[in-house]
Amino acid sequence: MASRGLLIAPSILTADFGHLEEQARAAEAAGADLWHLDVMDGHFVPAITFGAAIVEVFRRTTALPIEVHLMVANPAAQLRPFAEAGAQRLIFHHEAAPEPHALLEATRALGCERGIAISPGTPVAAVAPLLGELEQVTVMLIEPGRGGQPMMPELLEKVRELRALIGAAGLATRIEVDGGVKAHNVAICAAAGTDIAVAGSAVFNASQTPAEAIAELRAALASA
């Protein structure tokens, strides 16, 4: 399954916000495939990260596609600002929007791809009936709220389940994993059927450059 060509989506939660443009350029030059920008509102999760202005910085600074992971309690109010800031894909949480049809339609009407994230306690069954209305499901492998937490690999069972459902239905819905992806576990994510792996602290950390980090992730995939 590694040959499917897993995409790597850096998250900037552990990046140096004093040198954001420089770090964004470095990760793009290092071969990142897209940006995964984590928005937290202090309600859905305790922390607050950033708003649409930071998404605009990425839009101006790099040519990579941008997905915005909305860890917010009221996603309906946030779709337009992030779409206008340049996000190609908006991902909101099923836990914040258990009746998501209107939000999915609003996302599509804004010209963005539609993603739904499921936290560890939410089963695949919650999104199974929606797979035909989505471009992506994001499977959280940690509790949302902060970067640098260890992955719970047993949650990859959800990826296998989704892969089977998507295959059986003949859909093109992509599967993303988010949380704790590192060089030592990225290959098991790919083998489970993942299309996109978010990598935060694996890419932005004190011991490596983004180029070294992304090369290490790709090497781990190639040798799997």
Instruction: Give me the active site residues, please.
Output: 38, 178
Q: How far is the CB of 163 from ligand DX5 (least distance, A)?
A: 21
Q: How far is the CB of 170 from ligand DX5 (least distance, A)?
A: 30
Structure tokens at 68: 């915005």
Specify the residue, 47 or 76, whose C-beta has the smaller distance to ligand DX5: 47
Out of 38, 41, 135, 161, the residue judged to bind Zn ion by CB under 5 A: 38
- Over the window 12 to 51, marking each residue x when it contacts ligand DX5 by CB under 6 A and - when it does not, the resulting string is -xx---------------------x-x-------------
Give the C-alpha separation, 72 to 95, whole Å: 10
Residues 105-164, interacting with ligand DX5 (CB under 6 A)? 142, 144-149
200 contacts which partner out of Zn ion, ligand DX5, none, CB within 5 to 8 A by kind? ligand DX5
Task: Say if CB 195 and CB 7 are below 8 A apart.
Answer: yes
Q: Any alpha helices (H) in 124-206, and if so which ranges?
A: 156-169, 186-192
Q: How far is the CB of 24 from ligand DX5 (least distance, A)?
A: 16
* Helix orientation angle between 20-29 and 52-61, rounded to the nearest 10 degrees: 50
* Helix orientation angle between 20-29 and 210-222, rounded to the nearest 10 degrees: 30
Phi, then psi, of 115 in degrees rounded to 5: -130, 145
Give the C-alpha separation, 82 to 129, whole Å: 26
Enumerate the β-bridge partners of residue 39.
70
Residues at the interface with Zn ion (CB under 5 A): 38, 69, 178
Residues at the interface with ligand DX5 (CB under 6 A): 11, 13-14, 36, 38, 69, 71, 142, 144-149, 178-181, 198-202
